[in-house]
Amino acid sequence: MLTTQQDNKKISAIILAGGQGRRMGYQDKGLIQWGGKPLIAHVIERIKSQTDEIFVNCNQNLEQYQQLGYPIITDKLVGFQGPLAGIESGLEVISHEYCLACPCDTPFLPPSLVNDLYTALLANESDAAYAVCEQQRHYVPVLLHKRGLASLQQYLATGQRSIHGWYKTIKTTQIEYNDTQAFANFNQPDSLLTDKT
């Protein structure tokens, strides 16, 4: 199931579907139909062979997400406070030391993603590893070490919610990718017109 064999580590995953979808007209992005199924189902297909357990982070439409067959976690922080809130809740319940946190609207994630990020994270003794494409940083998906939970909780307690801001407080590693489509996501209604490849 898991492609990462270094040190025989196991990887948890949190799919972040807890937002309001403001830029999508307040549609729940993970449940938007595309290519014949919900966007989140495409993400699950991409990561399920790369990880050992998957949690779905959502704050609405819980019954529909439960039909996917994976454990559901909701934000401890109320009021749709962003992806860090979902990551916090996920890091509190995962079984393994390392965790992939990824958005629910990135259906083209690379099949080598976890291996790539894990290798970079270990090599640089980092707390987090994420992708860069053509100088554009993709702060999620990100591979995190569970030890980052304490610093994340401290950061959130200050009232800050920026992923980039939190990354400044921990040791991060970037890994270069050439395939810009691999990290494409659906943030605008027009993006749903893109053909599935």
State the pLDDT at residue 89.
96
For residue 88, give the nearest of 75, 78, 107 by alpha carbon.
75
Per-residue confidence band for 101, with pLDDT thresholds at 50, 70 and 90: very high
Q: Does 164 score more than 80 pLDDT?
A: yes
Of 45, 48, 55, 41, the closest CA to residue 2 belongs to: 48
User: pLDDT, tens digit, for every residue of 30-51?
Assistant: 999 999 999 999 999 999 999 9
Per the CB < 8 A criterion, the answer to whether 144 and 98 are in contact is yes
Residues in the chain: 197
Q: Among 17-21, 29-33, 58-62, 131-135, whose mean pLDDT is lowest?
A: 17-21
Q: What does the longest C-alpha to C-alpha distance in the chain come to?
A: 44
Higher pLDDT, 159 or 197: 159
CA atoms within 13 A on the CB side of 155: 20
By the 8 A CB rule, do 57 and 103 touch?
no
Domains and CATH numbers, the chain: 6-193 (3.90.550.10)
Q: Under a CB-based contact definition with an 8 Å cutoff, are residues 183 and 131 in contact? A: yes
SS (H, E, C) the chain: CCCCCHHHCCEEEEEEECCCCHHHCCCCHHHCEECCEEHHHHHHHHHCCCCCEEEEEECCCHHHHHCCCCCEECCCCCCCCCHHHHHHHHHHHCCCCEEEEEECCCCCCCCCHHHHHHHHHHHCCCCEEEEEECCEEEEEEEEEECCHHHHHHHHHHCCCCCHHHHHCCCCEEEEEECCHHHHCCCCCHHHHHCCCC
Query: Could you tell me which of 64, 81, 68 has the C-alpha nearest to residue 20?
Result: 81
In sequence order, the 6+-apart residues with CB closer than 8 A to the CB of 184 are: 106, 108, 191, 194
85 — pLDDT class (breaks 50, 70, 90): very high
- Count CB-CB contacts under 10 A for residue 150: 10
Cα 127 to the center of its chain, rounded Å: 15
